Amino acid sequence: MSLCILAAGKTVTLAIAAFTLSWTHSVERTRWEEDWKVTPSGLQVVEARIKGSGAGMEPPEGAELKDGWWAYAPKVGPQRHVSLAASGATGNGWTLCTVQGCRELGREAGGSIALEPCGSDGTSQPR
């Protein structure tokens, strides 16, 4: 499987099976991380972690505190499309890490960024 990143009218294709998405909450300045798998059914979040808690970001029931992070398995099915807003309010954007390294997405305020599984030809799938 491959991950397609769509932003500013361009598509970047990463030949990966999993990635970690992290960001800083714009109000509470608390770090969030999510581990995702790229599957034929869509993007599947398998674990999420919150470094602390605050307004509107309380860890869900069943979360466990591990090394200062609240960790839990989100109860959502595969997502065909994940949109990332770019507010420019946090000082940095979204960080997407794979076995190949990390890249920052959406540091400046602007249009949204989309993540989705790529088609077999490595291009974005029709929605």
Q: What is the three-class DSSP state of 13?
A: strand
Per-residue pLDDT of the chain (127 residues), as tens digits, is: 899 999 888 999 999 999 999 988 766 668 889 999 999 999 999 999 998 776 666 788 899 999 999 999 999 999 999 999 876 666 678 999 999 999 999 877 777 899 999 987 666 655 5
Q: What number of other Cβ atoms are within 10 A of residue 96's Cβ? A: 24
User: Could you tell me the residue ranges of all domains in the chain?
Assistant: 3-117
